Amino acid sequence: GAVKSTIDDVKLGNITEMLTKIKPAVAMTNKTFTGEKSSKNKQYVHDVAVNNVKNTIEEIRKRSPYIKEKEDKGEIKIVGAYYSLKDAKIERINYKVDGLSEN
């Protein structure tokens, strides 16, 4: 719902602020996605959601030096995931940054 609403640029009172946090994922996806850029395109919506997870991982690393330090030392691992409301499946998001690989 939130990803599709962001793609459609929906304005929903207080929720609008939350949706603005997803906009960078839309912009990121638009750079490489070659198909129809619409909330009706399942692959596009999926790619935006995955990029939003990646952006969230980056934000965690930026906002918490403690967590980033623990991750850099290999003491913890930040793992991203995407939960599909449609089929109730969880997809792990493999994401590489700063030479670290999420396997």
- Per-residue pLDDT for 100 more than 50? no
pLDDT above 50: residue 60: yes
| pLDDT tens readout for residues 17-45 | 888 899 999 999 999 999 999 999 999 99
User: Tokens 């962001």, residue?
Assistant: 6
How many Å is the maximal CA-CA distance in the chain? 42
pTM here? 0.82
Q: Which domain holds residue 39?
A: 2-101
pLDDT, tens digit, 9 for 90 and up, residues 61-88: 999 999 999 999 999 999 999 998 888 9
Cβ atoms of 22 and 52 within 8 Å: the answer is yes
The total domain count for the chain is: 1
At residue 8, the pLDDT reads 78
